[in-house]
Structure 1
Amino acid sequence: MTYIATKTALDRRSFLKGSGVAVALPLLHAMTPSFTRAATASSSPKRFVAMNASLGFHAPYLFPGKAGPIGATTPYLKELKDHLKDLTLFSGLSHPSQNGNNGHASEMTWLTSAQRPGLAGFKNTISLDQLIARQIGAATRFPSLTLGTRGQSLSWTANGVSLPAMTSPSKLYQQLFVQGTEQEIKEQVKQLDKGKSVLDVVQGDAKALERSL
């Protein structure tokens, strides 16, 4: 006899009600039947994440002394020791003609490689993240998310128009997870701004729901 576990599967679009606002559940173990989980994992949409450190890195603290399998041989790599098997580290890459109108002008061309940033006649072009979003963005709810700590952005359209970065964590959370009336959303965002996560409100209910399935 072959036993196949078929616990009741919970639709991922199900919602818990918290503080009058519908909150999208995280992916619980019970949201897919056990025999489909491996297939679901293998068919997950591809993701691309680009993060810019505008002041750069001290190269000797990052790059190992020779090419080959990465080991925790430098100060920065030691911090990533649990993830080295999933990383590929490149060195020697360069964007030519990046001497712009100030020392940080090349930030705007980091994902575009457009030359002479900020100088007379400069026109930016599509950034790598947006080019990738054209190819795989249809597989996800949001084709791309542009985030930052300031209003400046690394993302640009094909016409050289900057895509403003979202800087507010609470607004990002609202866009991704919170639904409800305008007043309900305002109240929940107010709680988030105070430092109280909406997930705290429903965490107990989520665990109870998981146990019952």
Structure 2
Amino acid sequence: MQRPCFRFRGFLTHGGQTYSAGSPERIREIFRENLDRMNSLKRAFSLRFPRVGVEISVGDTPGCRLAEGWRGVDEVRPGNFVFYDLQQLSLGVCSQEEIALAVACPVASLYPERSQGLLYGGAVHLSKDTFLDAQGRRLYGWVVPLREEGWGRVEEGGGLLSLSQEHGLFELTPPLAASLRAGGLAAVLPAHSCLAVSALGAYQTLDGKQVERLREV
């Protein structure tokens, strides 16, 4: 099928319902269901338009990471597999060791008397996407110590409780209180790294190199 402005290639889907699946097993089940539907479309349109070479494209980070087969798939869009984030961790899609991005934020104030701290890092830097932690709390990220060799583990940190435009209030756990100081830096593991990356101008690797983001022309 052709028209002056486009040429039909096939069908594309994003299985966004995997984000509310509740378990890795359900994510795999949803991915299989989507794949069956897409292959049905591919077969039907291949019979109707045998010269087109109908293709199917699938994508969503949870499904693509946990998929057990790719029958009939011509293109995979695995999304956030490069960085991962706390949404993926909470879904059981990745381990915390596989989260490869954190946002360095200045520590504005520490309030040990109420077990809280304040970051210069808000919605314009991290977005207002959230994740559910192990206690069922909806949080905006997780604050951990920032070190020369990287950042601390989740167990060393505390939840990012609320965000304003440019600031974030976090829980000051004993490990954080021992490692942070006002005026220093903390690392924030984002709820959704795609949006955090989109909000910021460049990456800095652990060996100090700066990598600029691709810009629209």
TM-score calculated relative to the size of structure 1: 0.25
Q: Which has the higher contact order (CA 8 A, sep 6+)?
A: 1
More helix by share: 1
TM-score calculated relative to the size of structure 2: 0.25
Give the number of the structure whose alpha-carbon radius of gyration is greater: 1
More strand by share: 2
